[in-house]
Amino acid sequence: MAKRESIEKRSWKPGNVLSPVPAVLVSCGGTVEWKPNLITIAWVGNVCSEPPMLSISVRPERYSHEIIRTTREFVANVPSLRQTKAVDWCGVVSGRSLDKFAGAGLTPAPAQKVNCPIVLECPLNIECRVRKTLELGSHTLFVAEVVAVQVSSALIDAKGRLCLEKSGLLAFAHGEYFALGRRLGRFGFSVRKRTRRLSR
Ligand X SMILES: Cc1cc2nc3c(=O)[nH]c(=O)nc-3n(C[C@H](O)[C@H](O)[C@H](O)COP(=O)(O)O)c2cc1C
User: What is the contact surface with ligand X in residues (CB under 6 A)?
Assistant: 23, 37, 39-43, 57-59, 62-64, 88, 91-96, 172
**Shortest Cβ distance from residue 58 to ligand X (Å)?**
4
**For ligand X, which is the closer residue by CB, 76 or 114?**
76
**For ligand X, which is the closer residue by CB, 58 or 114?**
58
**Shortest Cβ distance from residue 80 to ligand X (Å)?**
15
69 membership: H or E segment, kind and range: helix 63-71
**For ligand X, which is the closer residue by CB, 31 or 94?**
94
d(C-alpha 64, C-alpha 189), whole Å: 41
**Which residue number is nearest to ligand X in terms of Cβ?**
91
**For ligand X, which is the closer residue by CB, 62 or 73?**
62
Among 90, 120, 125, 124, which Cα is nearest to 104's? 90
**For ligand X, which is the closer residue by CB, 50 or 135?**
135
**Shortest Cβ distance from residue 63 to ligand X (Å)?**
3
d(C-alpha 133, C-alpha 55), whole Å: 10
**Shortest Cβ distance from residue 116 to ligand X (Å)?**
13
**Shortest Cβ distance from residue 23 to ligand X (Å)?**
4
Instruction: Name the amino acid, one letter, at 98.
Output: L
Count of residues in the chain: 200
Among 127, 133, 118, which Cα is nearest to 145's? 127
Among 109, 104, 98, which Cα is nearest to 83's? 104
Please answer whether residues 24 and 78 qualify as being in contact, where contact means their C-beta atoms are separated by less than 8 angstroms. yes
First to last CA, the chain: 36
**For ligand X, which is the closer residue by CB, 102 or 191?**
102
**Shortest Cβ distance from residue 18 to ligand X (Å)?**
12
Please answer whether residues 53 and 145 qualify as being in contact, where contact means their C-beta atoms are separated by less than 8 angstroms. yes
